[in-house]
Structure 1
Amino acid sequence: MPITPADFVIENASVITMDSQCPFAKGVAVADGKITALISSENENYPIKPGGKRINGKGLTLLPGLIDAHCHLRAQISHELSVSCSRNSINSIEEIINAIRQEAKCLPPGTWIRATGYDPFYLKEERHPNRWDLDQAAPNHPVRLRHVTRHASVLNSAALTLAGIGPTSSEPPGMKVDRNYETGMPTGVIYGGDTWLSQFVIPPITAAQLKTGAIHLQKKLLSRGITSVQDATPTNGLGDLEFWANRIDQENWSIPIQLMANEKNHLTLTKHLAKEFSPEISTRLEMGSVKVVLEALPELYPSLDELSRIAVTATSRNVPIAVHAVDPEMVWTATEAIRSAQDNYPEKKIRHRIEHLSLCPDAFLPAISELGIIVVTNPSLIYNHGDRYLIDVDPLEQEWLYRMNSLRSANISMAAGSDAPIASFDPWIGIKTACIRASISGNVVGPAEKLSRWQALKMYTTGAALAGGWEKVRGKIHPGYQADLIALDLDPLNCSLEALSHINVLAAWSSGNLVYSGKPIFSLFS
């Protein structure tokens, strides 16, 4: 077979390919946005095109670009534009009140105030803030304060009025309004209902804010080595599809995005994407799974019958489902719904997903393996929230938390996602946490579930590619694959465990194009 001359060749590098058949190399050749060859010591003079570049890697480590298999892009932008009430800056409800009060001083009356990241576990009062706390901060502004998990919110009185939530109001499916037992008066605390609030009550952030936020977000993602993402937001709609298409078309957004959406939106977005956008945009923006969020408020919603219907319908369209499942009942329900879909369409080999698998007993692992379900786990949640898990979760169930080694032993495919903004989008925190299982304060959560470094890296490369149906195009440094590459200052397989979360990404390529460089590229490699 003739050798294809390269647009550029990186030689004298330490290449970790993430391909188990050929895990290491000395360099890589790239042509037309794809890997054309791995360079060994025997073929260092790989031919290049006229005007092509031969780059001395100076012993730096090359890795496939990392893939975040579960994040929320617009939510991350919104998070960075909101009043931060995280444990890094807030220790009490009084401090939350003061932070929101300062924001209110800068905004006209009636303007929505968004605040995010509070966690009662770390507050001095050890309780949720309520409507009356937020009324003290901003009596003339509607306020939404989101829990760190984004599965609970606190609204002040003005926001409750706009939402139509009062002593006798009914509750939309999947939402529970906390009320005074005697009077029925809402306390302001709302469990679930994130989709309903976002669609019908709280206005979106402005287009200008989103555009600016996207520019900053892309740089942050690339600077940590993330070159592809799977956005697991169930409320993604036409506006989101068009927003990201415009970023690709107008502002050189280089990170391929796979959007999930709920059942209703997914088909509409799929048709719109095929009809309205150019092939160039479609190479970096595509539809992923049908996303379903299971809620238990107090009964499981959607029910097993409804989830099974969703799974069967999606499977008929050759589309996987991705089910948010955080407790054993949800895991069982997700597994049985996927079983129903496979029973209806045994000829279709679709890799359905369970997102999080936060608490999973041993008894469920054989079925997950048998059905070929991919588990998308979140090591960074252990880092960011592990201390709370060790208090809130029954000690007898703590070994079920975010299982990894047990899944590997059961031959269950795994991917990793940040779940940003609920946890840090930094993949190196996740990779380190998968290896040591330590929380931010150093408490170890489920030590038997530790992974090796190679196994942890797989979740962000080949595993994440498999979860998105990208296993033949990205996730490895392999001939014919997209040339998504990152150059690192340390070798993640050989540096100290402590150093894993401090690895610096020196450069990143997407489809062979240099899209990030911490320094001028020629000072790095020439």
Structure 2
Amino acid sequence: MNPDVVFLHGEVVTVDQQNRIAEAVAVKDGKIAAVGTSAEIKQMVGPHTKVVDLDGKSLLPGFIDSHLHIVAYGIDKLGVSCKAPHIQSIQDILNDLRAQAAVLANGKWVRAWGFDETKIVEHRYPTREELDQVSTEHPIIIVRACNHISVVNSKALEQFSIDRNTPNPKGGIIERDGQGELTGRLLESAHFQKSKEVAFSDEEILRALSRASADFVAAGITSVHDAGSSDANEFRLMQQAVRTGIIKNRIYAMVCTMDSPEAFVNTMIAAGITTGVGDERFKIGPAKLFTDGSSSGPTIATRKPYTSNPEDFGILYYSQEELNRLLTEAHKKGFQITVHAQGDRAIEMMLNCIEEAQKQYPREDARPRIEHAGITEPDLLERMKQLGVIPIPNPSFFYEYGEGYVKNYGERVNHMYPLRDFFDSGIIAAAGSDCPVTHYDPLFGIHMAMNRQSKQGTVIGGNQRVTVLEAIRAYTWNGAYASFEETKKGSIEVGKLADLVVLSDSILQISSEKIDQLHVELTMINGDIVHQLKP
């Protein structure tokens, strides 16, 4: 039987256990049929075989982003982007908000995303009063880039039923000034609980998912570990979008909602659903909770105070006992378990939880995860190894937020998202972008894993740099392992799914400083070419 597609004369980075580099690949019926030399594969070509001449370019396994938010990214594209190049000041943001409000009926939400106070000239948040000057007839919300903090106007506070007497929710802050007046800023659970009320229609969400999937496919992302939606309806729509072909990427969906994730986890447990339910296109992933805040906020939970503030240790969502109870039950029922844990204190709590869960209900190959694993110091690294934990670091964070990390955490940046330590310790770490917190491009993530430079050119924890093959593995095979799918995808080996990407040049020959200049020319999922640049 002749192959459907063959790739010849290339640099095939197989990411197999020997890191072999081949020349050619044959694809048949959605799977890898052969890997070898161009001469060997050429002999298989038939009259209907599509031949792709790589001309020395790299062919890689499809990229796996092990932590992003597909719904949030798509929805963000429907609002004002604070990351747009022309946004240099608060006034620029207010102008864009005013323009959006002008085309919306009174009472409709005006939304902005991607705000970062360190990137604008004022180095502060907009005030509630400034947002009120844009409109008092439209509720307005600006979500910070980390998606853990927002600032809203008076109309939004009214719709949220928040006044100066409203108490802070557990794990969150409704910010007030020195006189007790509301500033409009909502942090952590205060933000999560209310942001879900900024509702989009099902039609808008499906349109957003279509846009997101197209962008991810063009970047070579063939599989996504979705890290949580706003609510159960978005989770349902994500499944629907995969089933109907709106989403082309494969989805490994964490059981998590941004507000009250424990309630969603308990609902799924009660329904008898567990990790692994589904098929190769959509599969239920781990049960996920939040333990602390944002590394750039900064609101992460640390064992020592912030370098920038000796009184600040961050925010914790749960006590150790609460975390143990919630996730041990999920582990007992067969779920892979994970948490958002950025600070070393939060990471330590999750390690305690995993240890207790395995002590009560021992299970082989449970593969517990820790999303982000921000500050992973040596003692935590050793415990991760012993417990078989899969950390999910975010190399791209250093570009946007690296300078703030140095300011807030000092020397601890040498242990932040420590890919070098993970590889050296034999820990299987899978990389994610946390898009829309940072850009989704895996090639940029690989570049940052190798270089760890901020936008200003500062090297942040250079001791944690990795090689190009290690960085590629973090975005391919390791991601497949994190979802129990390493026998099906993540490397270019016979019998595995034909999820492949062709780059614009050789990733092994180009200098590490220029890897971010590469781009994806072709993306294949299940043997189908779903993206291809015109020659």
TM > 0.5 fold call: yes
Q: Choose 91-100 or 75-84, whichever is displaced more.
A: 91-100
Q: Could you tell me which residue of structure 2 aligns to residue 500 of structure 1?
A: 515
Q: Does the 8 A contact of 2:6 with 2:41 survive in 1?
A: no
Of 320, 332, 336 in structure 1, the residue corresponding to residue 352 of structure 2 is 336
After superposition, give the CA deviation of every residue in 1:249-283 in whole Å (9 maximum; x if it has no partner).
434532101111234334656898989xxx9x833
Distance 1:267 1:176, change over 3 A: closer
Q: Could you tell me which residue of structure 2 aligns to residue 425 of structure 1?
A: 440
Q: Could you tell me which residue of structure 1 aligns to residue 296 of structure 2?
A: none
Q: Does the 8 A contact of 1:241 with 1:269 survive in 2?
A: no
Alignment of 1:71-110 (within 5 A): 71-86=68-83, 88-110=85-107
Q: Choose 48-57 or 419-428, whichever is displaced more.
A: 48-57
After superposition, give the CA deviation of every residue in 1:431-468 in whole Å (9 maximum; x if it has no partner).
10110110122111001011111111111001111112
Q: Could you tell me which residue of structure 2 aligns to residue 188 of structure 1?
A: 184
* In structure 2, C-alpha distance between the alignment counterparts of 1:22 and 1:46, rounded to whole Å: 25
1:134 match: secondary structure:
helix
* In structure 1, C-alpha distance between the alignment counterparts of 2:452 and 2:29, rounded to whole Å: 40
Q: Could you tell me which residue of structure 2 aligns to residue 371 of structure 1?
A: 387
Matched, 1:384 2:379: no
* In structure 2, C-alpha distance between the alignment counterparts of 1:18 and 1:52, rounded to whole Å: 25
Name the aligned partner's letter for residue 154 of structure 1.
Answer: V
1:282 match: secondary structure:
coil
* In structure 2, C-alpha distance between the alignment counterparts of 1:84 and 1:251, rounded to whole Å: 27
Q: Choose 245-254 or 435-444, whichever is displaced more.
A: 245-254
Name the aligned partner's letter for residue 500 of structure 1.
Answer: I
Q: Does the 8 A contact of 1:353 with 1:376 survive in 2?
A: yes
Matched, 1:305 2:321: yes
* In structure 1, C-alpha distance between the alignment counterparts of 2:327 and 2:141, rounded to whole Å: 33
Matched, 1:510 2:525: yes
Q: Does the 8 A contact of 2:394 with 2:433 survive in 1?
A: yes
Q: Does the 8 A contact of 2:217 with 2:248 survive in 1?
A: no
* In structure 2, C-alpha distance between the alignment counterparts of 1:214 and 1:327, rounded to whole Å: 31
Q: Could you tell me which residue of structure 2 aligns to residue 112 of structure 1?
A: 109
- 1:172 deviates by 2.6
Q: Could you tell me which residue of structure 2 aligns to residue 176 of structure 1?
A: 173
Distance 1:54 1:143, change over 3 A: closer
1:253 match: secondary structure:
coil
Of 23, 27, 31 in structure 1, the residue corresponding to residue 28 of structure 2 is 31
Q: Choose 321-330 or 397-406, whichever is displaced more.
A: 397-406
Which structure 2 residue ranges, 5 or more long, are not aligned? Answer: 257-261, 294-298, 300-313
Q: Does the 8 A contact of 2:269 with 2:333 survive in 1?
A: no
* In structure 2, C-alpha distance between the alignment counterparts of 1:14 and 1:299, rounded to whole Å: 47
Distance 1:95 1:35, change over 3 A: same
* In structure 2, C-alpha distance between the alignment counterparts of 1:165 and 1:433, rounded to whole Å: 41
Q: Does the 8 A contact of 2:224 with 2:252 survive in 1?
A: yes
2:193 match: secondary structure:
helix
2:41 match: secondary structure:
coil
* In structure 2, C-alpha distance between the alignment counterparts of 1:102 and 1:424, rounded to whole Å: 25
Q: Could you tell me which residue of structure 2 aligns to residue 246 of structure 1?
A: 240
Tell me the TM-score normalised to structure 2 length.
Answer: 0.89
Name the aligned partner's letter for residue 264 of structure 1.
Answer: A
Matched, 1:324 2:318: no
Q: Does the 8 A contact of 1:437 with 1:446 survive in 2?
A: yes
Root-mean-square deviation (Å): 2.4
* In structure 2, C-alpha distance between the alignment counterparts of 1:268 and 1:32, rounded to whole Å: 38
* In structure 2, C-alpha distance between the alignment counterparts of 1:387 and 1:258, rounded to whole Å: 32
Q: Could you tell me which residue of structure 1 aligns to residue 61 of structure 2?
A: 64
Name the aligned partner's letter for residue 398 of structure 1.
Answer: V
* In structure 2, C-alpha distance between the alignment counterparts of 1:322 and 1:100, rounded to whole Å: 37
Which structure 1 residue ranges, 5 or more long, are not aligned? Answer: none
* In structure 2, C-alpha distance between the alignment counterparts of 1:231 and 1:424, rounded to whole Å: 15
Of 366, 377, 399 in structure 1, the residue corresponding to residue 414 of structure 2 is 399
Name the aligned partner's letter for residue 301 of structure 1.
Answer: Y
Q: Could you tell me which residue of structure 2 aligns to residue 211 of structure 1?
A: 206
Matched, 1:226 2:221: yes
Q: Does the 8 A contact of 1:234 with 1:293 survive in 2?
A: no
Matched, 1:289 2:305: no
Q: Does the 8 A contact of 1:315 with 1:348 survive in 2?
A: no
Alignment of 1:236-275 (within 5 A): 236-237=231-232, 239-251=233-245, 253-262=247-256, 263-266=262-265, 268=267
Tell me the TM-score normalised to structure 1 length.
Answer: 0.91
Q: Could you tell me which residue of structure 2 aligns to residue 133 of structure 1?
A: 130
Aligned-pair identity (%): 30
Name the aligned partner's letter for residue 101 of structure 2.
Answer: A
Distance 1:51 1:384, change over 3 A: same
* In structure 1, C-alpha distance between the alignment counterparts of 2:255 and 2:134, rounded to whole Å: 35
Distance 1:124 1:55, change over 3 A: closer
1:301 match: secondary structure:
coil
* In structure 1, C-alpha distance between the alignment counterparts of 2:415 and 2:204, rounded to whole Å: 40
Distance 1:345 1:50, change over 3 A: farther
Q: Does the 8 A contact of 2:210 with 2:246 survive in 1?
A: no
- 1:293 deviates by 0.9
Runs of 4+ in 1 over 6 A off after TM superposition: 270-275
Distance 1:161 1:41, change over 3 A: closer
Name the aligned partner's letter for residue 112 of structure 1.
Answer: W
Distance 1:477 1:360, change over 3 A: same
Name the aligned partner's letter for residue 415 of structure 1.
Answer: A
- 1:42 deviates by 6.2
Name the aligned partner's letter for residue 407 of structure 1.
Answer: F
1:154 match: secondary structure:
strand
Q: Does the 8 A contact of 1:232 with 1:259 survive in 2?
A: yes
Distance 1:376 1:274, change over 3 A: closer
- 1:219 deviates by 2.1
Matched, 1:122 2:116: no
Name the aligned partner's letter for residue 248 of structure 1.
Answer: V
After superposition, give the CA deviation of every residue in 1:310-330 in whole Å (9 maximum; x if it has no partner).
221121122112211111111
Aligned length in residues: 508
Q: Does the 8 A contact of 1:318 with 1:348 survive in 2?
A: no
Q: Does the 8 A contact of 2:451 with 2:513 survive in 1?
A: no
Q: Could you tell me which residue of structure 1 aligns to residue 310 of structure 2?
A: none
Distance 1:192 1:241, change over 3 A: closer
Distance 1:24 1:301, change over 3 A: same
After superposition, give the CA deviation of every residue in 1:85-122 in whole Å (9 maximum; x if it has no partner).
23733232232222212221121111111111222222
1:388 match: secondary structure:
helix
1:117 match: secondary structure:
strand
2:502 match: secondary structure:
strand
1:300 match: secondary structure:
coil
